[in-house]
Amino acid sequence: MAKSISFDTGAEEYEVNDGRASLFFNPADPALFARILELQGLVGDFETRYAQLEKKITGEVDAQGFPVGADDVVKGMRELDADLKAQLRDVFGPRNDFDAIFDHMSCFAITENGLTVVNNFFEAITPLFDDGVNDRVAKMEKMKAARDKATANRAQRRAAGKGGRG
């Protein structure tokens, strides 16, 4: 039988859009934040490719009344959406289901405020990292103070031990 190990990773669970899904991550993880920034840089490239696909619909219709080339465009859009959601899973970890987190909408769907769903997501999580970093700094300062106090206590005990020998 395998032995188990359990430890605190700092990961927190966030309910998304009134509890329809959950997002798990550690907001104080600087490596995660770096991966997010890298992915945000790629989102513009995804959006450009998505817009290029939209331009392929020319307005011509086939015999059934469907736009010519629409099947290929829709397939390409689905692939881009799946690609970006896969990259989001890679960044945030496999526990996170971005189809559920985005309420089964495309990353590129335009919302009421004019931004895409994925850009609204990034705007929503950014303050969590600010809070996470502040929390991390406070915890590190507390740990440093405890270490400094322990070091001072050891030095004091050593000095007291040497002084008693005469």
- Report the alpha-carbon distance of residue 118 to residue 109 in Å, rounded: 8
- Report the alpha-carbon distance of residue 41 to residue 8 in Å, rounded: 30
Is 70 exceeded by the pLDDT of residue 81?
A: yes
- Report the alpha-carbon distance of residue 130 to residue 119 in Å, rounded: 17
**What is the average pLDDT value for the chain, to the nearest integer?**
87
Write out pLDDT tens, residues 102-153: 999 999 999 999 999 999 999 999 898 876 566 666 676 777 777 878 888 8
The burial of 35, by beta-carbon neighbours within 10 Å (0-12 exposed, 13-18 middle, 19 or more buried), is given as middle
Angle, CA 158 vertex, CA 157 and CA 163 arms, to 5°: 95
Give the pLDDT band of residue 5 (cuts 50, 70, 90). very high
In this prediction, residue 135 carries a pLDDT of 67
Of 128, 87, 83, 121, residue with least CA distance to 101: 121
Map out the domains of the chain as residue ranges: 13-157
Q: Is 19 or 134 the better-scoring residue by pLDDT? A: 19
In this prediction, residue 56 carries a pLDDT of 81
Global pTM reads: 0.74
Contact 84, 121 (CB under 8 A): no
In this prediction, residue 153 carries a pLDDT of 85
- Beta-carbon contacts of 59 under 8 Å, excluding residues fewer than 6 positions away, are 67
Write out pLDDT tens, residues 22-37: 999 998 888 998 999 9
